[in-house]
Chains A and B, each alone.
Chain A
Amino acid sequence: MIPCKPITQKLTLLLFSLTVFSGIQTYAQDGQTLFQSKCAACHNVFKDLTGPALGGLETRGPWADRQELYKWVRNPEGYMKADEYTQGLKAKYNSIMTAFPALKDEEIDAIVTYIDTEFKKPKDEGQKTNGETATSSNQNAVIFGVISLILAIIALILMQVNSNLKKMSDDAEGVMRPEPVPFYRNKVYIAMLAIVFFVVGGYYVTKGAIGLQRQTDYQPEQPIYYSHKVHAGINQINCLYCHGNAWESKHAAIPSVNVCMNCHKAINEYTKGPKLYKENGEEVNGTAEIQKLYAYAGFDPKNANAWDPSKAKPIEWVKIHNLPDHVYFNHSQHVRAGKVQCQTCHGEITAMDEVKQFSELSMGWCVNCHRETKVDFNYDGKKGNKFYSIYEKFHNDIKSGKMDSVTVKDIGGLECQKCHY
């Protein structure tokens, strides 16, 4: 009971600092979201893509004056007429920026703040990997197995020794006993073995049957070696830039060829990134893979202006995540309404070259998450989803302290017809 007080104090302090920082966080978060939804298609903080790298933009051109930046973002074409710097940009990148007339001053500010923070961050951050803890638990299991096996053999030997000693003592005392049965014909042993076999076998059969058609770690070879690590990891392209459908619809959908070509019209070789390897260790030529894309798109990099997107052929990707037909799953429900990160179900996708299935996509896995995940309750005009305002009872319970949060389960997220209809 004694250490109670200091802990509470620490907690209060922690909570306080968290609230303060989270306030700032939300602001920067807005900048990130905006950047990713409006800018990321053409700009990166560090690298030139379709448009110039945005890191340190305030040091260039007229952008030190925020008012000029506002004008430019809302109407690039109009702005350009009287500005030499931007005319130069057009000449360099061969395109004019899309206009965003609807962006507010604060929103542009938020984007600039975000770019600034990103630009000034130490570069190695966020590239840590944590894949080593898993192996150690595996080793433990092997050690335990070996120890149990040794112990079992010792027990068997001791039992044999015991029975031999008993026989010898019986012989010495002159007690007549029947010839002992060898252990492999001993009915007790056989019965015990059968039971163990039945239990263990039954366990594995059941487990195997339940796991039928589950494809965790499924990593098929795709028609084009497409590295999520290069795109989403190193180049930090937002997931929703290519899989924007996940925001709108039940399917996340694989991007169409024209989406790939948005960037790859300009990026026609793979030189700067790390070397790419297939699962079998074979090295992959990134530039050759981009050529494969060009073959599908019908694009000739030497004659880029003659490209006709309508002649493109679709790419037959191998589908990795398969749900049974009797399951209804909606990406937009999870990504947009539920604000679940893609990585929660798809794993550390930014570290995967070729994608493999991370989660087992089983019902137990779904249900566990529904039990724990909290709903975006408590709508107050800024946070929370207004839809949930209808659940008055839960809101009252939260107010009165009966419950601290509402999980998906509480609003019926475990019911059959949430997913099966």
Chain B
Amino acid sequence: MSAAADLGYMSQKKYWQSFAEVNDPENFQKKTQDEFREELPFEDVDSKGLLDAKAPRRDFLKYLGFSTAAATLAASCKTPVRKAVPFANKPENIIPGEAKYYATTYVQDGDVIPVLAKVRDGRPIKIEGNDMAAYTHGGTTARAQASVLDLYDTHRNRFPTRKVGDKHEESTYEFLDKTIGEALAGLGGKPVVLLSSTIVSPSTKDIIAKFPNLKHVQYDAVSYSGMLLANEASGFGRKIPSYNFGEAKVIVSLGADFLGTWLNSVENADGYTKGRKINEKNVEMSKHYQFESYLSTTGASADERFTHKPSETSAVALALLAALDGSVTAPAIADAKLKAGITKVAADLKANSVKALVVSGSNDVNVQVLVNAINNAVGAYGSTIDWSRPVNYRQGIDKDMADLVTEMEAGGVGALFIYGANPAYNYHDAPKFIAALAKVKVSVSFNERMDETTELCAYNLPTHHYLESWGDAEPKAGISSFIQPTIYPLFKTRPYQTSLLKWSGNNTDYDTYLKTYWAGILGSEDAYTKALQDGIVETPAAASAVAFNAGAVAGAASATAAKKGGKTEVVLYQKTSIGTGTGATNPWLQELPDPISKATWDNYAMISMAKANELGVKLDMDYEYYPQKPVFEFAVGNDKVELPVLVIPGMNADTVAIAVGYGRGEKLGKTAAGVGQNVYPFSSFNGTTVDYFADITITDKNRKHKIAQTQIHNSYEDRKEVIRETTLATFKKDPNVIPDYRQKLVDDYAKKTSDFHKEATLYPDPATRHNEIKWGMSVDMNACYGCGACIVACNAENNVPVVGKREVLRYHDMHWLRIDRYFVSGENPDDLKGVVFQPMMCQHCDNAPCENVCPVAATNHSTEGINQMAYNRCIGTRYCANNCPFKVRRFNWADYTGADSFANNQDQQLVGKLDDVIFQMNDELTRMVLNPDVTVRSRGVMEKCSFCVQRTQAAKLTAKKENRMLADGDVKTACQQACSAGAIVFGNAHDKESKVSKVREDNKQRSYYVLEQLHVLPNVTYLAKVRNTDEIIEEKGHHGGNEKHDAAVPAAEKKEEAQH
């Protein structure tokens, strides 16, 4: 590519995290060695002398004196009298101090995940997956994990309101029931409409059906109506089937981000992983092809990717169908690589028919009809596509919504009830909706927050958070998942179903209604109680007798053939964290780095390297090193937004990708407001469905905006043995690269005893330092898709503080667990071969470099193999973090938690202020989410992953109490529990029968320790990533693959080559 040539790529490197690493490695290494990369406030020292500097010596002495005096004062104060207030009447089954787990269901706009809520002393504090749900196997998403924080959001609506003038004034349910009841009676026959996001609750649908003259319109922020309509046209009914990724040998995705945001990513990832985990005795993998316009989370995990402009999706589908069965005429495809890709994919699909699956994320009916035809041609129906259990995740039809808006505009709607939907923010033509809403006489919102739509409604009767509710959900036909309250409602909220019941003349509340409804279906109240306890009820699938009807294919083919896109196009996508925008109010999700860009607290335009070259964005050292990114104006018709750009390799050259869900209203709180820009206006209605792509024009605004990316915060000093990645063909040809590498280290360092552990160290043999329990972890990088559920789970479990954008910009992010993203490319960085995600946490090294350098022994090793961190002993020298080769230690630069003994220690006058979100997280209400078993760290101490020591301790205690041996699986770390792909395994590594020992034993060829040559002896093993391609990676130099023994010392490398 010419762009690449212009930038002058000289490097031979394969794995990289930032362009600077590729373009200017020397400078990059030098710069990353600076500990403080921002300007320090000491710049005046040289010119004016010490006393005139901003922080002169006298000030220092003043502060010192003050703090000594303050400490004395604080010490001499009287010890406060603490009260202990027991229950007045202790419920029999509650034990103060012991957690209880209640089965419930995370439901958010049709996303359904059966979960368990961990409740400590009446407060839900953690969400875990429900293992009893066969379709998720206990997996969760980042959003499900973070949902417990939403419960304690200070910006939830706390009471019912009615609008008086411009203000929402507090009201009562009695008054509102009466007022709204009267208003409904006086509508004069005009219809009442319930506008909601997808409703998966069967009992609620029952209530809706019984509401006289109520019209129900379901509206999804990101719509799947193209799929629903296409399936109807193909003879399957207006439904979405279950996809069985686990059965497929060949998976082709046409822009469906199924591991991130498409339908139920937990279910998809669970199935997908079956084909991705490798059995070394019989090395096989499913093959995953991805056609897409930008680099999605799913695309990052694909074996082979082909890019095209979003408008070309239909052409790709058509060409694929043509190549498969010739029933349609193939369109002309200009891009040679794409064309070759289609031919290859078609051949592979043919070779693996029946064991193949094609999915598409397009919302275009014609594309989805073609995809159905392809699936029919490869025999996917009945094998990888299951019509016996259609899913209910998304049910909105775009035309219904468009018709509703038209009707409202014409004054034809008497009353509008809104639940879950937020069209004033995410409708493609929001101003039209807003104007139409003004013409509705009675507008009622049941939404939990004062969102953009609720603000416009006359009445707001906020509904409960799901953790406070009774309820049910039917994610798939025949599978019901139940919701039970885990806490008494915090605010004056009421289930919207109760309101609907009341207004339809039924005075039972929803709780009773639900009980009667399900006792009727399940046969008895006991059965209902049992169902609540399990959380899930599954009935056998009904046999499906539907068959594919090819009638619509010809029409779809001719309709798509005519499509033409512009020069540059924009595609809208969802982030795994923020989703359609529901995650925007959640600080944990805002701070969760995006899997691909590693950016937090922002949306931005992702552009290709070619586009960067065209726009004059230089990918030099400064671009990567400093957070300021150039801002451009992006315009679709009259809708314009100004956004910074991020250059991402592997993008389609002429496509710009922007995430939806940002640019929220002020009333949603400090977390959401002012973060990013809203790009929903870029979507458009094509008469049948909404398109999430458009032609775009780009103008340079000649200014810059800071984006807080985390990827280059941690430097490995150019050591590349952190990641091991290969192709399936290479792995089959030479499976022993990793064992050989280890053997070489043994040969080099343990000549006498051949025991690398024992001999290659000054310290006593680690084997003598442990007793029979030794905790170990194994991470399968083939099953890590970067979604970030583990990170949020870790935040919740371990009270990891939120630091806000300003602090992330200063490299002060606190995540104990991060997912490093590595691009794999040939010489040209844009020639992206794959992406490796590596969850990186404390490795709990047996010869830990951090332990030796601590002057106060605040970090040391336990006999159970855990690298311990005693916060109350730490004096904050940060030597440990500097000496950690993996950079997993986190320092509390400021009082992020409000845990300091001194009040007002959160003001940082000298070095910059903390973000509002930190103070929001310190609110009395929000602090209810904290885990009481884990210390809340204060300013000036180091912290890091503890292997969830509170869980290992609790499991041991339970075993002691029950007078039994510790069983494998008694301890699950928070990250392990959250993972929908089972990538993380944890247990006693000294127990030969434990799962972690078995994983290590069964995967000797892929199992490796990061930076093994340093001989720090980590307790975490990784299983190397394998991409399923035929490419044989050339071995440069020695036998140990193309990774150098120690890249920082070329001389050593030469020596090794000589040895071979």
Contacts and interface: CB of A to CB of B under 8 A. Distances in A.
B507 interface: no
A209 B76 CA distance: 10
B526 interface: no
Nearest to A410: B771
Contacts of A255: 86, 90
Contacts of B82: 318-319, 322
A421 B88 contact: no
A403 to B, nearest CB: 13
Contacts of B1029: none
A314 B82 CA distance: 15
Interface stretch (B427-435, B608-616, B622-630, B933-941): B933-941
Contacts of A249: 95-98
B88 A257 contact: yes
B931 to A, nearest CB: 11
A245 interface: yes
B88 A254 contact: no
A421 B950 contact: yes
B89 A258 contact: yes
B872 A326 contact: yes
B85 A315 contact: yes
Contact of B957 (A245, A296, A333, A417): A333
A245 B84 contact: no
Interface in A152-191: none
Interface in A237-259: 245, 248-251, 253-259
Interface stretch (B149-157, B805-813, B824-832, B960-968): B960-968
A387 B959 contact: yes
Contacts of A282: none
Contacts of A411: 771, 863
A387 B863 contact: no
B97 A250 contact: yes
B987 to A, nearest CB: 13
Contacts of A132: none
Main secondary structure of the interface of A (DSSP, over half): loop
A255 B773 CA distance: 37
Contacts, number: 146
B96 A251 contact: yes
Contacts of B873: 416, 420
Interface in A190-221: 209, 212-213, 215, 220
Given A245-B97, A332-B961, A387-B966, A415 B85 contact: no
B945 to A, nearest CB: 12
B47 interface: no
Contacts of A258: 88-90
A417 B868 contact: yes
A348 to B, nearest CB: 22
Nearest to B87: A256
Nearest to B75: A212
B870 A420 contact: yes
A245 B96 contact: yes
Contact of A385 (B862, B869, B960): B960
Contact of A254 (B86, B866, B960): B86
A390 B83 contact: no
B956 interface: yes
Given A336-B961, A387-B956, A317 B862 contact: no
B34 interface: no
Interface string B864-908: 101011111100000000000000000000000001000000000
Contacts of A378: none
A392 interface: yes
A213 B868 contact: no
A162 B14 CA distance: 90
A328 B933 contact: yes
Contacts of B771: 391, 393-394, 411-412
A405 interface: no
A420 B871 contact: yes
A104 interface: no
A317 B96 contact: no
B377 interface: no
B766 to A, nearest CB: 15
B89 A416 contact: no
Interface of B: 75, 79, 81-90, 95-98, 771-773, 858, 860, 862-864, 866, 868-873, 899, 933-936, 946, 949-950, 953, 956-957, 959-961, 963-966
Top-7 shortest CB links A-B: A249-B97, A337-B960, A256-B87, A251-B97, A416-B870, A256-B90, A312-B88
Interface of A: 209, 212-213, 215, 220, 245, 248-251, 253-259, 296, 309-310, 312-319, 322, 324-326, 328, 330, 332-333, 336-337, 385-387, 389-394, 411-412, 415-418, 420-421
11 contacts: A209-B75, A256-B89, A257-B86, A257-B88, A258-B88, A316-B85, A318-B82, A319-B83, A332-B957, A337-B957, A421-B949
